Amino acid sequence: MPRVAESHVMVTRPATVNVYEFIAVSALRTQQLLAGCTPRLPGDHAPMVMAQMEVAAGCVVRADVTSDAPRQCRWQR
């Protein structure tokens, strides 16, 4: 049986979050992390895994398009 490295993490989507929304928000957060934004959770994980962990923990949620919230990264419009 193959061994799973300790660095591999399985992120479980919360039942309250729509599958499509989880994937879309995670992908956008991954882009932010790759652009240099600071992770909101502790740990040394790949940007994709960290983004999924943040969305699952509720640290990152879908924003309202009309929101006047400050931008986190330079690439955001």
Per residue in 31-60, pLDDT (tens digit) is 999 999 999 999 999 999 999 999 999 998
Residue 37, CA atoms < 13 Å, CB-side half-sphere: 22
pLDDT at 66: 65
Question: How far, in Å, CA of 46 to CA of 33, rounded?
Answer: 9
Question: How far, in Å, CA of 35 to CA of 21, rounded?
Answer: 21
Cβ(46)–Cβ(34) under 8 Å? no
pLDDT at 72: 59
Cβ(8)–Cβ(26) under 8 Å? no
Number of other CB atoms surrounding residue 30 within 10 Å: 19
